[in-house]
C-alpha cells in the first residue's frame, strides 16, 4: 500500500424529516439530471441499504458506495468517500441520507445523516413532504436550523405539492421565516410512474422498467427543481484533504489466485461493492454465476459467496435446478469454503415455502423457511463470535444489519452448530445466528467489509488453502 493526499470534491447530502418522504426518487432524479448535463457523479448511500444504492448506481452509471458510521468507523468512512470519488473521476458527490435528518441510534445522533454530513463538510438539501401542511413547514425548517447550528442546511425541495397556491404559500413562509432557499417544488406523482414496490422492494438490474423509472425521475427533477442551484450548493462544500492509503496493484499471478464465485441474479442481488472489491484486494479473482441461468458451478471454483436478496421470487426455478444445488452441496462437502447471508442462508437450507407451496433448496443445513408479509428482523445488529467457524476468530465482535421477511419454521439443531450470539438484533432464533458445517457459514447478519476488515482476507485464505489442497 501507498499513501496519497486526496482532496474532497463538491458534494451534498439529500435528506428528509422521515422515511417515505420521497427523497430516494428526488435523489435519483438529481443524480440522473446531473449525469445528463455531462457530470460524472459519485453516488453514495448513507446507511445499511442495498436497494436504494442499486437505483443510485443505475442513475449515475457508477457503483454506489455506502457510508455508514455505525458499521464503519469515521476515519474509514472519510477515506472511502475520498478514495471512491477519486477512483470514479467524479465531478460531484451525491449522498442519499437514511430515515430522518437527525435520526440515529442514540440521544446524541452519532450515526445520523446530519453527523455524517458534518463529517464530510457537506451541505444538506432537505426534502419536505408537504402533504396537508403549509406554514408549519417553515417552523419545522427553523427547528432543524436551531437544532444543530453547525450543520449546513443549504436548501429545500418541496415534495407532493397540491397546486400553485399550495406551492407559493409554503415557499413564501419558508424563505421569509428561515432564510433557507427553496430549490424546487414537485407535484404529487402518479402511482404508475413509481409504484411503491419498484422503489421500496425491488432491486433494479433484472427489470426493463428500471431505466424508464430513472428517466421519469430525471424528467421530474429537470421540470421542477433548479438543478443549477443544486450544483451551486454542492460547490459550497468546504474542501478538505486527507492522507489516504491507496492499494498498489497486486502482482499475483492469475493461476495462483483463488477463484470465488458470487451468485448474482434476480434472486440474489444484495452485495456491497466494497465487499466484492475487498475479496479482489485480498488476492481473489471473482466470477459471477447464477442458478437461474446455469446448470453447474463454473470450472476451477475455490469458494462461494451468496448474498441476500429475494429467493422467494424465483423459488420454483431455484428448486428445479437440482444439478446446480447438488453441485454446491458436493463442493462444500469436499471442503470448498462458502459464505452466505440472509437470502443465501435460505438457499443453503432444505426447503422454502412460498404461498403454500414448498420448494427444495440446497440442503446443506437442516432448516426450513417460509416468507411473511411483515419484516421478521430489521435494523442494526451486534454479533459476538462465540463458536467455531471457518471465517472469524472467537471473541470477534461483528457489527452488521438484518432485514428479512423470512422466518425459520424448522431447525434440527445440533450442539454447537452456531457461531454467533446476538447482543443486538434477532438472529436465526434464541439470539443465535451463523450456522456452520464443513467450511461453510450462513447467517442472517449482513456485514460490510470496511467495518469487518478481517472477513475478506480470511475468506481468501480459506479459498487459497482449498485451491492448494484440492
Residue 422 grid cell: 446476538
- Please list the active-site residues: 342
- Share of residues in the chain with pLDDT > 70 (%): 95
Asked if residue 408 has pLDDT above 60, the reply is: yes
Pick 256-469's CATH classification: 3.40.30.10, 3.40.50.880, 3.30.230.10, 3.30.9.10. 3.40.50.880
- Hey, is 325 helix, strand or coil? helix
For 253-293, what is each residue's pLDDT tens digit? 777 899 999 999 989 999 999 999 999 999 999 999 999 99
DSSP class of 225: B
**pLDDT value of position 199:** 45
Residues of the chain with CATH 3.40.50.880: 256-469
Q: Would you mind telling me the total number of residues written for the chain in this entry?
A: 470
* Grid cell for residue 468: 492448494
Given strand 432-437, what is the order of strands in its sheet? Answer: 285-289, 259-263, 303-306, 338-341, 440-443, 432-437, 418-424, 377-385, 397-404
Cβ atoms of 282 and 1 closer than 8 Å: no
Q: Which residues pair with 367 in a beta bridge?
A: 411
Range(s) within the chain of domains with CATH label 3.40.50.300: 2-244
Q: What is the pLDDT, as a whole number, of residue 196?
A: 44
- Closest to 65 measured CA to CA, from 425, 455, 454, 451: 451
Domain 2-244 has CATH 3.40.50.970: no
In angstroms, rounded to a whole number, what is the distance separating the alpha carbons of residues 183 and 20? 20
pLDDT tens track for 425-448? 999 999 999 999 999 999 999 999
Q: What is the pLDDT of residue 246?
A: 80
User: Which of 65-69, 95-99, 312-316, 412-416 is least confident?
Assistant: 412-416
How far apart are alpha carbons 272 and 96 in whole angstroms? 16
Amino acid at each position: 500500500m501507498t499513501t496519497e493526499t486526496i482532496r474532497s470534491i463538491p458534494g451534498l447530502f439529500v435528506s428528509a424529516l422521515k422515511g417515505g418522504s420521497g427523497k430516494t426518487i428526488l435523489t435519483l432524479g438529481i443524480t440522473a439530471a446531473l449525469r445528463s448535463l455531462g457530470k460524472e457523479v459519485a453516488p453514495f448511500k448513507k446507511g445499511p441499504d442495498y436497494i436504494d444504492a442499486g437505483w443510485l448506481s443505475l442513475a449515475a452509471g457508477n457503483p454506489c458506495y455506502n457510508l455508514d458510521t455505525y458499521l464503519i468507523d469515521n476515519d474509514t468512512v472519510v477515506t472511502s468517500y475520498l478514495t471512491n470519488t477519486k477512483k470514479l473521476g467524479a465531478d460531484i458527490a451525491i449522498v442519499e441520507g437514511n430515515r430522518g435528518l437527525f435520526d440515529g441510534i442514540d440521544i446524541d445522533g452519532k450515526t445520523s445523516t446530519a453527523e455524517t454530513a458534518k463529517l464530510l463538510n457537506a451541505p444538506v438539501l432537505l426534502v419536505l413532504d408537504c402533504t396537508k401542511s403549509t406554514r408549519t413547514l417553515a417552523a419545522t425548517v427553523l427547528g432543524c436550523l436551531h437544532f444543530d447550528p453547525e450543520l449546513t442546511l443549504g436548501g429545500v425541495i418541496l415534495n407532493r405539492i397540491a397546486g400553485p397556491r399550495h406551492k407559493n404559500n409554503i415557499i413564501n413562509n419558508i424563505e421569509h421565516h428561515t432564510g433557507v432557499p427553496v430549490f424546487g417544488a414537485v407535484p404529487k406523482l402518479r402511482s404508475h410512474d413509481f409504484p411503491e414496490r419498484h422503489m421500496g422492494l425491488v432491486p433494479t438490474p433484472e427489470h426493463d422498467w428500471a431505466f424508464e423509472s430513472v428517466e421519469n425521475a430525471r424528467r421530474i427533477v429537470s421540470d421542477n427543481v433548479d438543478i443549477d442551484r443544486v450544483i451551486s450548493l454542492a460547490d459550497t462544500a468546504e474542501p478538505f484533504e486527507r492522507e489516504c492509503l491507496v492499494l498498489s496493484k497486486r502482482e499475483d499471478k492469475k493461476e495462483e489466485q483463488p477463484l470465488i464465485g458470487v451468485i448474482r441474479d434476480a434472486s440474489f442481488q444484495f452485495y456491497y461493492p466494497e465487499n466484492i472489491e475487498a475479496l479482489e484486494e485480498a488476492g481473489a479473482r471473482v466470477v459471477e454465476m447464477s442458478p437461474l441461468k446455469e446448470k453447474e458451478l463454473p470450472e476451477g471454483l475455490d469458494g462461494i459467496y451468496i448474498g441476500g436478496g429475494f429467493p422467494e421470487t424465483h423459488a420454483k426455478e431455484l428448486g428445479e435446478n437440482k444439478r446446480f444445488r447438488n453441485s454446491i452441496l458436493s463442493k462444500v462437502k469436499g471442503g470448498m469454503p462458502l459464505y452466505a447471508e440472509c437470502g443465501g442462508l435460505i438457499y443453503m437450507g432444505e426447503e422454502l415455502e412460498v404461498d403454500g407451496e414448498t420448494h427444495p433448496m440446497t440442503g446443506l443445513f437442516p432448516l426450513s423457511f417460509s416468507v411473511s408479509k411483515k419484516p421478521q428482523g430489521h435494523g442494526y445488529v451486534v454479533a459476538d463470535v462465540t463458536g467455531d467457524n471457518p471465517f472469524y476468530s472467537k471473541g470477534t465482535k461483528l457489527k452488521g444489519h438484518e432485514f428479512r421477511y423470512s422466518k425459520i419454521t424448522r431447525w434440527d439443531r445440533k450442539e454447537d452448530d452456531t457461531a454467533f450470539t446476538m447482543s443486538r438484533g434477532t438472529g436465526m432464533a434464541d439470539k443465535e445466528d451463523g450456522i456452520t458445517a464443513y467450511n461453510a457459514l450462513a447467517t442472517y447478519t449482513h456485514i460490510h467489509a470496511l467495518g469487518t476488515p478481517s472477513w475478506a482476507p480470511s475468506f481468501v485464505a480459506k479459498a487459497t488453502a482449498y485451491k492448494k489442497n484440492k
